[in-house]
Amino acid sequence: MKIKLLTKIALAMLVGVVVTTAQAAQTYLPFALASNDTGTIAEKIEGTKKALLDNGFDIAGEYAPYKGAYVVVVTNGELKKAAASQPRGGYVAAQRISLTEVGDKVQVSYTNPAYMSYAYRVNNKLSQTVTLLKKALGHIQDFGPAEAMDSDDLNDYHYTFGMEYFDEPLELNSKGSYSAMVAEIQKNLGSKIKGASQVYKIDIPGTSQTLFGIAMKAPNEGKKYMDDGFIMSEIDFKPLRSTAHLPYEILVNGKQAEALHARFRIAINFPDLAMMGENSFMNIMATPDAIRDVLSAVAGGEIEDEDF
């Protein structure tokens, strides 16, 4: 009897260790490839949007950042609830779907909700949203860097020593009230200040958080480092394209407007991008400051490059 009892205890402990190890080993990649079929964006965009709507998503905005690329931004109840669960959780309210023409095919891809949730420290697997995206668009494989990251890696992510973490955002501006801060951003986006324009606006119910998606188009060649197309031409070069990296965001949180630092915002989606060489961070070294100046101007704050 004692031997049987000890055997059962040993087996239970072994199962516990296996389960714990399996849970600890779960890893994530930033993007998912839904389909890669012959065609054009023009032929596929309406069907893509209909599939999203039919599966309970709200389309918050859409835009063509450059030739051969299109981005649709969606939200739903689960995403908004998760966003409201954390003081700076608004970033997770938007999930991005991209259509990218590569040769004679169109890659339809989307951001991995679970990856983004852990990267933004919301820590919700967003299982319903994951399931609905797969149902609406399909799922061939997750992709991104060569090595996936687990939840702890994502919670504490920064590219390298001296680079910013999630909790070190750009503090763009503050106003006397939440509504005044939102109005300032909408006014400046309406005038397309510094080449910026609004892609979407998502209000987070029950909070004073509003997330804006910002398209950035350089007004001239000298300002290319803030341009969506230029940035992606340097960093998005793999066979599977990460167009759903775009657009960048501003989060209004109460009276404050903030944005994820570009050295975090770019790196979290391209963590294996080389520091130097061809297609590297070195080629966009001026981009973080350029993006900061654009987003600061959108929020009505101070900018370093007054001639921009």
Give the per-residue pLDDT at 9.
52
Domain limits of the chain?
29-298
Give the per-residue pLDDT at 15.
53
Give the per-residue pLDDT at 254.
98
CB atoms within 10 A of CB 101: 19
Give the per-residue pLDDT at 77.
98
User: Which residues sit opposite 38 in a β-bridge?
Assistant: 105
- pLDDT (tens digit per residue) in 188-223: 999 999 999 999 999 999 999 999 999 999 988 889
Give the per-residue pLDDT at 308.
45
Give the per-residue pLDDT at 279.
84
Average pLDDT, 10 consecutive residues per value, the chain (308 residues): 52 53 76 98 98 98 98 98 98 98 98 98 98 98 97 97 96 98 98 97 98 96 95 97 98 98 98 91 96 98 66
CB atoms within 10 A of CB 93: 30
Rounded to two decimals, the pTM is 0.90
Give the per-residue pLDDT at 57.
98
Own/partner contacts of 222-230, CB < 8 Å, gap of 24 or more, are: 223/195, 223/290, 223/308, 225/284, 225/286, 225/287, 225/289, 225/290, 226/194, 226/195, 226/287, 226/290, 226/291, 226/293, 226/294, 227/195, 228/65, 228/66, 229/65, 229/66, 229/67
Q: How far is CA 161 from CA 24, 157, 221, 263, in A?
A: 25, 11, 32, 12
Domain at 29-298: CATH architecture: 2-Layer Sandwich (3.30)
